[in-house]
Amino acid sequence: MNGLFQGAWKIGTIMGIPIRVHFTWFVVFGLITWSLSTFYFPMVAPDLPVTSYWIKGTFATILIFISVAFHELAHSLVAMRYKISIESITLFIFGGVAQMKGEPPHPRAEFEIAIAGPLSSFFLAIIFFFLSANTIGSLKILSSYLAQVNLILGIFNLIPGFPMDGGRVLRSIIWQKKKNFFYATQRAASIGQKIALFFIFFGIFSLFTGMVGGLWLVLIGWFIYTAAQTSYQQSTIQEALSGVKVKDIMIKDIVTISPSITIDEAVNNYFLRYGYGGFPVVSDGKYLGIITLKEIKNVPQNAFKDTKVSEVYVKHKKQWEVSPEEEAIKALEVMIREDTGRLVVKEGDKIISLITRNGIARYVQIRGQQK
């Protein structure tokens, strides 16, 4: 779900947690406002000025998204009790998501973090139901609608389709029973995919019967399926790399390239000969950076013999270094964050090897075949 956090803008901070809005939020904000202003409020409160409906619709939509943010904030506050830091809360087309740095330490923490969201929605539903029962006019109508929305939000999130809240509750139960976090994640994600497929097929069926709302079910199902699939894959990788250090996967026999040779020599004597996707650039024992196929492709082929490696290699960055004793999963996280295919393995001041994404992928694949 990392794509959610690209194209999102920060709109504020609550209790130290940045609140972001994804561009898709504006689409659903407009649709909900339009729907409430032109259909719902005119139906439940006829004969009012058009402007009044649009004011109510806009205000109600804002309160809906405040309710969603409150739901995610509940997750975040419980997570912070367990020393899990929250990078941000992002509102997007399907609701909201709290981006947590790390996993719960034990099943009970997972359960409490997951259940906090639906409970917060039920709490808001009770508050709005109380307001609707003790007010009149526009406030009564608005409160009644928001009570229903929060009740639906809480119930819907309890559906055991990982990574929804209900799916995380299910994971905590399986985790507690089997004492295996990875198995619990994979099992919950698998169930989540099946539930998502039900949403998709039921949504398609609804469309054929003339229910336009079926499209929304298809989109939600697709989102849940994709998220569950990603969670399953991530869990598989984490399980395969559990307890594995960089030194266990790094390239054993490192081959370096001099910055003084030409691209033509680099291609023929290194890339074609060894089959690696990149090589460290070293001069007089000093590590300078790295050259990969990406840099080679940026050079016109007719300029291979006139262009030196020193002209195109990527200079080294401190964040591209990793210790041989570091966990392999941490190295992979750095590669993903830095958008690079390899890291330099450094012991003291000495460059001893490289670890690559391809190398990690091969290791995970082999471990998977051994299961």
The set of catalytic residues is: 72
| Token representation of residue 191 | 């169930």
Q: Is 165 annotated as contributing to ligand binding?
A: yes
Is 71 labeled as ligand-binding? Answer: yes
* 348: exposed, middle or buried (Cβ count in 10 Å: 0-12, 13-18, 19+): exposed
| Angle, vertex CA 28, rays to CA 142 and CA 156, nearest 5 | 70
Q: Is 106 annotated as a binding residue?
A: no
Cis link prior to 280 (omega < 30° from 0)? no
Q: What CA–CA distance (Å, rounded) separates 166 from 111? A: 9
Q: Which of 225, 277, 272, 233 is nearest to 251 (CA)?
A: 277
Closest by CA position to 222, among listed 98, 96, 136, 93: 93
Asked if 259 and 288 count as a contact pair (C-beta separation under 8 A), the reply is yes
The closest alpha carbon to 146, from 126, 166, 165, belongs to 126
User: Binding-site residues, please?
Assistant: 71, 75, 165
Binding residues for Zn(2+): 71, 75, 165
